[in-house]
Chain A
Amino acid sequence: MSRLADLPPLLLGLVILVLAQLAGLGIAALLHLPVPGVVIGLVLLVIAGALRPTAVLTRLAEPAGAPLLKHLQLLFIPPGVGVVVELEELARSALPIALAVGGSFAITLVLAGRLLQALLRRQDRRRGTSGGGADGEAAA
């Protein structure tokens, strides 16, 4: 099967991701940080990718990272199913939850969108409109 030929890069990528996670967990435990170790692992990988000598690590992680991110949702099905356990609590507070989640969602969305649009527009103008901005120029 041709799939087998893809296996080594996938495994290598997974090893890099797990090592970054382990390093993050170790750092969080050693320094008693209140931050989840996986998040520190994420930051470590960003730093590794931004520095030239270690940038190759993120390229090697890509074959495992891309499918994991594509099917990220699959990993949340088991905890999501747990809602049957919480259904009663959820139903009892349905209205406040809907208002809090819906309200904070809608207001944050519009506010963040308008704010960033205004800031980016100002930034692009200051840099001169001729190709100064990022690749989102064609948007307006």
Chain B
Amino acid sequence: MSAIVHFPLFGLLLTGAVYAGAYRLHQRAGRSPLLTPVLVSVVVIAVILQLTGLPYAEYLRQCLLLTLLLGPATVALALPLLNNGRALVSSWPAVLVTLLVGGAVSVAITVGALTAFGVDTSLLLAALPRSVTSPVGLSIAQILEASVPLAVVLTLISGVSGAVVGPALLTLARVRDERARGFAIGLTSHGIGTSRALTESAVAGGWSSAGMVLNALAMTLVLPAVGMLMTS
């Protein structure tokens, strides 16, 4: 058993196999956001690591290939932005104002609530990039010297809650414009929310990916400064 677990590609094969299973389950179950493949896979793999006694650090080393692909995947986020380029440019004042106001409110509430509760700075720093799509959020967490796994998990939670309650919340607030709905979802719940917005309509999905990428760019510029203020 231990020979199998310590095989250098074990982590990669395990992750691929579990993800493939979780992906199929998600499709079969009518794309329920609660069964988001990444969430299911994380839980299953965490249990398997516990059962086999494979240390997390070694598992992470075995998944090096996936970590290496994060870079090109982040760069590829340029593509959805370009596909929606014309609509975005023609509405740039509205998009810019929403981006700035939304980003400022999001950061202010996160910092405000966590400081009010007197949480550790380390946790606060990990919570800052939570609305940013994970590949960029990960780099921001590294720059902030925050815990990367914690930041990733908070990001996942944010994305899943966005996919689960986001559309209903927007309907409740009487936001009916597809463009506004998509953009708001992308701004707050990045990739996972975007995949949900895509099921509403192509327009909502396109504006959602645009919201996600623009938010990532804005937060890259803003969060290191906020982090410096928090730790000084």
**Real binding pair:** yes
**Number of A residues, CB within 8 Å of B:** 78
B207 touches A77 (CB 8 A): no
Instruction: Verify if B82 is at the interface (C-beta below 8 Å from A).
Output: yes
B residues 46-66 touching A (CB-CB < 8 Å): 46, 49-50, 56, 59-60, 63, 66
Chain B residues in 8 Å Cβ range of A140? 176-177
The dominant DSSP class at the A interface is helix
Q: Do the beta carbons of B98 and A136 come within 8 Å of each other?
A: no
* A72/B180 in contact, CB under 8 A: no
Chain A nearest CB from B66 CB (Å) reads: 5
8 Å CB contact of A120 from B123, B152, B180: B180
Chain B contact-residue range equals 35 or more
Per-position binary interface string of chain A over residues 96-124, scored 1 when its CB falls under 8 Å from any chain B CB and 0 otherwise:
11011111111111111111110111110
Q: Is A134 an interface residue (CB 8 A)?
A: yes
Give the number of residue pairs across the A-B interface with Cβ within 8 Å: 330
A84 contacts partner chain B, Cβ-Cβ < 8 Å: yes
Report Cα–Cα, A102/B131, bound state, in Å.
Answer: 11
Q: A9 at interface (Cβ–Cβ under 8 A)?
A: no
Can you list 30 contacts pairing A with B, beta carbon distance less than 8 Å? A17-B73, A36-B136, A36-B140, A38-B70, A39-B139, A39-B220, A42-B75, A58-B78, A61-B79, A64-B76, A68-B72, A69-B76, A76-B38, A80-B41, A83-B150, A83-B153, A86-B147, A86-B150, A90-B150, A97-B119, A97-B123, A105-B158, A109-B170, A113-B175, A115-B180, A116-B183, A122-B94, A134-B90, A134-B179, A139-B178
Contacts of B220 in A (CB 8 A): 35-36, 39
B 78-99 binary contact with A (CB < 8 Å = 1; else 0)? 1111100111001101110110
Q: Does B110 belong to the interface (CB within 8 Å)?
A: yes
Query: Mask for B206-225, Cβ within 8 A of A = 1, else 0?
Result: 01000101001100110010
- In the complex the two chains form, what is the Cα distance from A85 to B151 in whole Å? 12
- Taking CB atoms, residues of chain B closer than 8 Å to A122 are 94
Q: Say yes or no: A103-B109 contact (C-beta < 8 A), given A77-B45, A79-B152, A116-B177.
A: yes
B residues near A (Cβ < 8 Å) are 11, 15-16, 18-19, 23, 36-38, 41-42, 45-46, 49-50, 56, 59-60, 63, 66-67, 69-82, 85-87, 90-91, 93-95, 97-98, 101-102, 105-107, 109-110, 113-114, 117, 119-120, 123, 127, 130-131, 134-136, 138-140, 142-143, 147-150, 152-154, 156-158, 161-162, 165-166, 169-170, 173-181, 183-185, 187-189, 191-192, 203, 207, 211, 213, 216-217, 220-221, 224
> What A residues does B180 contact at CB under 8 A?
112-117, 120
Q: Which residues of A contact B184 (CB under 8 A)?
A: 108-110, 112-113, 116
Instruction: Say yes or no: A116-B173 contact (C-beta < 8 A), given A61-B79, A74-B19, A104-B106.
Output: no
Cα A49 to Cα B75 in complex, Å, equals 12
